[in-house]
Amino acid sequence: MCDTFVASPRVTAGECMILAKNSDREPNEAQNITFVPAMTHPPKSILRCTYIDIPQVEHTHAVLLSRPYWMFGGEMGVNEYGVAIGNEAVFTKEPYHKKNNALLGMDILRIALERSISAKQAWNIIIELIHAHGQGGVHTMGGIKYYHNSFLIADAEEAYILETAGNHWALKQVYNIASISNCLTIEDDYDEISRGLEEYARQKGYAKKGTSFNFQRDFGDSLITHFARGKIRAQCTYGRMLGNKRGITSLNMMNILRDHNTEGEYHPGKKPMERICLHAGGLVSSQTTGSMVAVLKKGYPPLVFMTGTSAPCMSLFKPHTLLRKQDEYNKNELTVARDDDCIDLYGAAAEKYDNKTLWWIGEQVHRRILMKYNSLIPKISGIRDAYEKQMLHDVERLWHAKKEKELQNACSRYGESSLNHTRAMSDSIQKEYNIATIKREVPFWYDLQWRLNNIKAHISI
């Protein structure tokens, strides 16, 4: 499960577009911060996606992704032109394409970023990809999950919600704030729909006689959507944005991603599906494995904050930017053509523990704190918040001043220091974890589930 939300320049403090997302996947499904350089491709090139090959275009743009390690695509990302996209699993009445011979929603997201220079162009590309190649296949590491996709797409000036059901779709432009989750949200307030959509819905019996067409009601699978709790989480993120009357900031969006949507103390395992920052446990097999906040403004390079680790409630957001410059082809690409498919910036984490990768170092912090959450979270939150406050001050000051080279250097410096900071947090929590001899603050079954996850990952906690 996931949550994606956006605030337009009308309601943000710096008149920016800010898009944020939590990506929820399996506990051991590492997610890497991945840079894909701009490239020029030979004629008739073929693009290898997760399951299928499709024709490649001549030029692709530089992209920064939060990418599950085993797939071609990404859960969320931003390109060098300042187009940002997050996608959501949605459950509909249309049959799911269960064979691995179509594009994953995450593949579609990456391809749209690599080929678009605006939000409008991105949603058009997504529609073309779905019609040409279909969406489907197994969407999880070693799992059997199938779903359709919705997308929140933004650039510096415009934002759109694009929701799909098989090859069918509905589109709605966002003017102030919007939030999507694991449910269809577009009702009869769409701006565009796929050709013949209403007639198709009535032919299939989705839209009943005597009722007006409503995409959410007529195409949504109400049973699975109910248990996914997407409506509850979307209401929470929307309400949190609505409450920032002085203008929404990047820090506001980070804090919403960290929200557990609960009054009083948070207790792991209690109503997990209603949490924005989601931790696996009980009947819930997924958790927040990566988070992103993208800040976009016309005339400025995109400023992107990603955790590169799970559990934003105990993670640092790391700053990145994408600077465009002329290349030898004079096509305004970020770099000259390269053979690299992608570069994992903090190590290539996979499904097994690796102490050289950011994601698994973060998991040492996450899994220890989770067992004694209310005792251990104060040990890192104050230090983390102070570090992050200084980071935001430094990089946003340079970004607003358009000091691009200094900004790039600051992002690199904070990226390196944040890795060291995460290692230090891991060491500190390990000491606290060993000193604290009181029993764990979670039920036995919750402890057992995580012990099994740790065994599978070969991680010692």
Catalytic residue IDs: 2
Helix (H, G, I), strand (E, B) or coil at 42: coil
Cβ proximity of 103 and 240 under 8 Å: no
Structural tokens at position 35: 């840079």
Exposure string for 196-205, b = 16+ CB within 10 A, e = fewer: ebbebbeeee
Angle at 135 between CA 131 and CA 138, to 5 degrees: 165
Q: Where on the phi/psi map is residue 199: left (φ > 0), alpha (ψ -120 to 50), or beta?
A: alpha
Helices (H) and strands (E) in the chain, counts: 11, 19
The tokens 């997050």 sit on which residue? Answer: 86
CA distances from 302 to 79, 107, 217, 399 (A): 8, 21, 36, 9
Q: Residue 287 burial by CB count (10 A; 0-12/13-18/19+): exposed, middle or buried?
A: buried
Q: In 10 A of CB 92, how many CB atoms?
A: 24
**Rounded CA gap, 206 and 314, in Å?**
43
